[in-house]
């Protein structure tokens, strides 16, 4: 035996190990796959509903809605004009429907990630033990190559929207959890002491002091979650999620440079819109910290 | 001082910070002292068997240098810090024995606190900061508004209700902190170095505001400071802590004229006494006719030495007759006595 060769399991043993894991999971999938699918049925119908809603809304109305959301969020005409121009160009280049599909799944994914992530973040901030347990899980979620967990997800739920959405959420959830936790933990201890001195219970302390003061951090988390979901659309398209990702995937397989480029730019445009609007909004809600007089 | 006038009893209070505080208690009982406990056992003795009574309706100053344990002591009154041993009784009720719910109730109703770094809520406007204590207690909207605006006016911030703390100067922020505390209508007001972060002129203003308000409020104010001049100006009584031990508690005159030990003596050595000591506390009780004839000026019992000196110099006299409120002569002061009191 030489030192250059690692003493590994024998080939047959290794094959046996892999076989038994695969076998076990296949049995699990056969047993529970259907009930899991049932469990996610409401989510699926919600996904379909939101996609149909966006697709059936007349495009001028859709642009007007997006523009007004951008205005309410950012209070900046520059950003509003940017939004309108971006959507007009996307539509003119024939990517309207795909953009709406992507917009729909991103919105739902972000909403679900926020709804799950913020409570987990709060629990983490409240207890060090929860933090030690959850942190490594978040590390795995962020660094595990998404193809790895796509396999079991597809085995359990089949190809489609729900599987794609789960893949996106697994990848996009960690920042909102981490930043909620961090935001709450970094609230000034003097202020927490004052809240205690005035006799707040833990719910009052959370809602009146900790969450409002953690809001800028939480908002940065939401922003990151949106960005990460967008970056997952191409991978999600591999398991049947329609939208801007599919043409990109097709372009990779067939070397259609122009299609890839155009759809890629549409994704970038969406990302920039989301980012600028949410960042401006985040800056506006922490205006009070800078002592500006025009409130 | 009658027993019924005592608002807060602090009994044999010891606080040790470190890995195993209770195991250090026997050593503390033997009087090991702060320095040795830290050096040999790696525990910090913040409070060393402190016994103290704080009277209702008066300003009780707790003074000491940093590390003397004064801020730790005040936090025991509303149990922001729990003692290692000993007890704190407020109106006869043991604060350390309270359940969480009772303690929250106690903090909402009985005590209010003003902090050195203001500790305002930066995301709330001035008026919402003032209302915070009332809101936590669940006071209704109309009463809450009425009270908050009343105190906003009282501390001289009328018109700034919609501003955020970051838009105000330090002095103004602390007025908000004071209004927040007073709005709670609690018997006990705890002020932890409340004015120490302010510059001298603003600090003096805030002291005047507090004294003015206290004339009507007559609350039990526990005032923490490291500044002797501040202590002498506003305190009815002063307690001096050193290394976690209570060194002396008494009136301002007790502290200045009868310091308990060398530490207090050094502490008060540099203070300007003429503005603090009053004619009453240094006069000779015996009424000496022959001195009075010698071109004496007439002063009141309550006049400060500064005023007595000023009058003596103006009249080119070395003697003063001290009278009570009715104008009856009760004692006399001569120049030697003033000189002795000033250069203690």
Average pLDDT over every residue of A140-168: 85
Q: Which residues on chain A are in Cβ contact (under 8 Å) with B106?
A: 199
Check whether A232 has a pLDDT greater than 50.
yes
Position B193 scores a pLDDT of 92
Q: Please give the Cα distance from B311 to B333 (Å, whole number).
A: 12
Model pLDDT, residue A293: 43
Q: Is A135 exposed, middle or buried (0-12, 13-18, 19+ CB in 10 A)?
A: middle
Quote the Cα angle for A61-A65-A71, to 5°: 140
Q: What is the pLDDT of residue B2?
A: 45
- Cβ contacts of B119 on chain A, cutoff 8 Å: 188, 190-191, 193-194
Mean pLDDT in chain B?
Answer: 88
Cβ neighbours of A219 in B, within 8 Å: none
Is B111 in Cβ contact with A293 (below 8 Å)?
no
Residue B227 or residue A286, greater confidence: B227
Helix (H, G, I), strand (E, B) or coil at B123: coil
Distance from CA of A287 to the nearest CA of B (A): 9
Domains and CATH numbers, chain B: 55-87+97-110+186-271 (3.40.50.300), 278-342 (3.10.580.10)
Facing residue for B164 by CB, picked from A208, A215, A288:
A288
Contact check, Cβ <8 Å, B123/A213: yes
Nearest residue on chain B to A294, judged by CA atoms? Answer: B163
Map out the domains of chain A with their CATH numbers. Answer: 26-286 (1.10.3720.10)
Q: For chain B, what is the radius of gyration of the CA atoms?
A: 23
Q: Compute the mean pLDDT over every residue in chain A, rounded to the nearest whole number.
A: 89
Instruction: Name the pLDDT band for A295 (thresholds 50, 70, 90).
Output: very low
Segment B278-293 shows an average pLDDT of 69
Does the pLDDT value for residue B4 go beyond 70? no
User: How far is the alpha carbon of B193 from chain A, nearest alpha carbon, in Å?
Assistant: 13
Contact present, B319 and B332 (Cβ < 8 Å): yes
pLDDT score of B286: 63
Residue B295 clears pLDDT 90, i.e. is over it: no
Looking at the complex, report in whole angstroms how far the Cα of residue A213 sits from the nearest Cα belonging to chain B.
Answer: 7
* Partner-chain residue, chosen from A191, A204, A215, that has the shortest CB–CB distance to B136: A204
Task: Supply the pLDDT for residue A30.
Answer: 85
B227 within 8 A of B271, measured Cβ to Cβ: no
- A199/B122 touch (CB, cutoff 8 Å), yes or no: no
Provide the Cα torsion A7, A12, A13, A19; round to 10°: 140
Instruction: Please state the rounded mean pLDDT for residues A87-106.
Output: 92
pLDDT for residue B265: 87
Q: DSSP letters of B87-101?
A: EEEETTEEGGG--HH
| Nearest-by-CA chain A residue for B74 | A197
Chain A residues lying within 8 Å of B107, measured CB to CB: 196-199
Q: With an 8 Å Cβ cutoff, are A194 and B115 in contact? A: yes
- Beta-strand pair B6-17/B85-90: antiparallel
User: Residue A131: pLDDT band by 50, 70, 90 thresholds?
Assistant: very high
Closest to B121 (Cβ–Cβ): which among A191, A215, A290? A191
CA dist., res. A100 & res. A53, Å (int): 9
Mark out the alpha helices in B110-169 (DSSP H runs): 126-130, 132-137, 141-154
Confidence of residue B35 (pLDDT cuts 50, 70, 90): confident
pLDDT of residue B291: 57
pLDDT at B77: 94
Residues in chain B closer than 8 A to A198 (CB atoms): 107-108, 112-113, 132-133, 136, 184
- Could you give the CA distance from residue B50 to residue B11 in angstroms, rounded to a whole number? 7
What are the chain B neighbours of A201 within 8 Å (beta carbons)? Answer: 104
Q: Taking CB atoms and an 8 Å limit, are B117 and A204 in contact across chains? A: no
Report how far residue B55's alpha carbon sits from residue B71's, in angstroms, rounded to the nearest whole number: 19
* Beta carbons of B123 and A290 less than 8 Å apart: no
Q: Which residue has the tokens 């002291």?
A: B207
Within 8 A of B166 by CB-CB distance, chain A residues are 288-291
Q: How far is B246 from chain A (nearest CA, A)?
A: 25
Average confidence (pLDDT) over B163-192: 93
Q: Which of A189, A194, A207 is the best residue to mutate to test the B interface, defined by the most B CB atoms within 10 Å of its own CB?
A: A194
Residue in chain B lying closest to A204 (CA): B136
Of the partner residues A190, A201, A208, the one whose CB lies closest to the CB of residue B115: A190
Rounded mean pLDDT of B9-35? 90
Q: How, if at all, do strands B6-17 and B44-55 pair?
A: antiparallel
Long-range own/partner contacts, residues B198-207 (CB < 8 A, 24 or more apart): B198/B170, B198/B171, B198/B174, B199/B170, B199/B171, B202/B169, B202/B170, B202/B171, B203/B230, B205/B171, B206/B171, B206/B174, B206/B175, B206/B178, B207/B233, B207/B234
- Report the distance separating Cα B52 and Cα B238, nearest Å: 11
Residue A50: how many other CB atoms lie within 10 Å: 18
**Residue-wise pLDDT tens digits, B242-283:** 999 999 999 888 888 888 888 888 888 877 777 778 887 788
CA distance A127 to chain B (A): 19
- Map tokens 């046996």 to a residue: A16
CA torsion, ordered B171, B177, B181, B182, to nearest 10 deg: 40
Instruction: Note the pLDDT of residue B61.
Output: 95
Query: What end-to-end distance do the CA atoms of chain B give, in Å?
Result: 28
In this structure, how many other beta carbons lie within 10 angstroms of the beta carbon of residue A136?
A: 9
ipTM strictly over 0.90? no
Q: What is the DSSP letter of B67?
A: T
- The 8-class DSSP code of residue A9 comes to P
d(CA A26, CA A22): 6
Task: Tell whether the model's pLDDT for residue A66 goes beyond 70.
Answer: yes
Percentage of chain B surpassing pLDDT 90? 58
Model confidence at A287: pLDDT above 90 = no
Q: Which residue has the tokens 């240098």?
A: B65
Q: Report the distance separating Cα A149 and Cα A236, nearest Å.
A: 12
User: Which residue on chain A is closest to B186 by alpha carbon?
Assistant: A198
Q: Read off the pLDDT of each residue in B312-317 and give the average, rounded to a whole number.
A: 85
CB contact under 8 A, A197 and B164: no
How far does A292 lie from chain B, in Å, by closest CA?
7
Give the sheet arrangement for strand B245-251, strand by strand: B111-114, B188-192, B220-225, B59-63, B237-242, B245-251
Q: Give the pLDDT of residue A88.
A: 94
Name the nearest CA neighbour of A141 among A93, A91, A179, A177. A177
What one-character DSSP code corresponds to residue B286?
S
Cα dihedral B205, B210, B215, B220 in deg (nearest 10): -160
Give the separation between CA B211 and CA B289, rounded to whole angstroms. 39
Give A284's contacts in chain B (Cβ within 8 Å). none
Q: Do B112 and A290 touch (CB under 8 A)?
A: no
DSSP state of B165: G
Task: List residues of B whose CB lies inside 8 A of any A CB.
Answer: 78, 80, 103-109, 111-113, 115, 117, 119-124, 132-133, 135-137, 162-164, 166-167, 184
Q: Give A214 to chain B, closest Cα distance, Å.
A: 10
Of the listed ranges A151-160, A165-174, B212-221, the one predicted with least confidence? A151-160
Residue B15 near residue B69, CB atoms below 8 Å: yes
d(CA B130, CA B12): 35
pLDDT of residue A17: 92
Check whether B1 has a pLDDT greater than 50: no
């Amino acid at each position: 035996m030489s030192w250059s060769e690692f003493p590994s399991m024998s080939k047959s043993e290794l094959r046996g190990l892999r076989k038994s894991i695969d076998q076990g999971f296949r049995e699990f999938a056969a047993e529970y796959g259907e009930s899991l699918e049932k469990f996610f049925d409401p989510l699926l119908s919600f996904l379909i509903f939101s996609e149909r809603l966006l697709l059936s809304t007349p495009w001028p109305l859709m642009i007007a809605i997006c523009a007004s959301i951008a205005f309410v969020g950012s209070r900046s005409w520059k950003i509003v004009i940017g939004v309108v121009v971006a959507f007009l160009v996307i539509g003119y280049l024939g990517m309207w429907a795909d953009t709406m599909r992507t917009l729909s799944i991103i919105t739902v994914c972000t909403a679900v990630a926020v709804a799950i992530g913020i409570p987990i973040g709060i629990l983490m901030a409240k207890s060090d033990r929860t933090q030690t347990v959850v942190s490594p899980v978040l590390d795995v979620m962020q660094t595990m190559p998404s193809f790895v967990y796509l396999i079991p997800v597809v085995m359990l739920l089949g190809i489609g929207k729900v599987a794609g959405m789960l893949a996106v959420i697994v990848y996009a959830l960690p920042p909102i959890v981490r930043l909620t936790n961090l935001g709450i933990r970094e609230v000034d201890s003097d202020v927490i002491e004052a809240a205690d001195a005035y006799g707040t219970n833990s719910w009052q302390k959370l809602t009146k002091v900790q969450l409002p003061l953690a809001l800028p951090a939480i908002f940065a988390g939401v922003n990151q979650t949106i960005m990460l979901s967008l970056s997952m659309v191409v991978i999600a398209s591999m398991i049947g999620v329609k939208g801007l990702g599919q043409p990109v995937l097709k372009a990779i397989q067939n070397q259609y440079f122009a299609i890839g480029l155009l759809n890629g730019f549409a994704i970038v445009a969406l990302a920039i819109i989301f980012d600028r609007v949410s960042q401006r909004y985040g800056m506006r809600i922490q205006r009070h910290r800078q002592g500006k007089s025009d409130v | 001082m009658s027993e019924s006038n005592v608002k807060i009893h602090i009994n044999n209070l010891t606080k040790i910070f470190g890995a195993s505080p209770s195991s250090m208690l026997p050593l503390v009982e033997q009087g090991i002292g702060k320095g040795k406990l830290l050096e040999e056992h790696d525990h910090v003795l913040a409070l060393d068997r402190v016994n103290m009574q704080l009277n209702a309706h008066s300003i009780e100053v707790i003074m000491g240098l940093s590390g003397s344990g004064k801020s730790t002591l005040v936090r025991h009154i509303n149990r922001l810090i729990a003692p290692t041993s000993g007890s704190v009784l407020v109106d006869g009720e043991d604060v350390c024995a309270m359940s969480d719910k009772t303690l929250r109730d106690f903090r909402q109703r009985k005590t209010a606190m003003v902090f050195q770094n203001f500790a305002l809520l930066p995301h709330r406007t001035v008026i919402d900061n003032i209302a915070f204590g009332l809101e936590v207690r669940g006071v209704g909207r109309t009463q809450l508004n009425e009270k908050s605006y009343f105190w906003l006016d009282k501390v001289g911030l009328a018109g700034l209700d919609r501003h955020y703390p970051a838009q105000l100067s330090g002095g103004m922020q602390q007025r908000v902190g004071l209004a927040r505390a007073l709005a709670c209508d609690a018997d006990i007001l705890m002020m932890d170095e409340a004015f120490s972060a302010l510059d001298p002129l603003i600090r003096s203003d805030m002291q005047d505001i507090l004294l003015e308000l206290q004339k009507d409020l007559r609350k039990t104010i526990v005032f923490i400071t490291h500044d002797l001049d501040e202590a002498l100006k506003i305190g009815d009584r002063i307690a001096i802590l050193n290394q976690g031990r209570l060194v002396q508690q008494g009136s301002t005159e007790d502290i200045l004229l009868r310091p308990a030990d060398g530490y207090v003596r050094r502490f008060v050595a540099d203070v300007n006494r003429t503005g603090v000591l009053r004619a009453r506390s240094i006069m000779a009780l015996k009424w000496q006719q022959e001195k009075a004839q010698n071109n004496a000026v007439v002063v009141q019992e309550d006049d400060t030495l500064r005023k007595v000196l000023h009058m003596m110099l103006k009249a080119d006299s070395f003697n003063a007759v001290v009278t009570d409120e009715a104008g009856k002569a009760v004692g006399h002061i001569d120049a030697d006595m003033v000189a002795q009191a000033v250069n203690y």
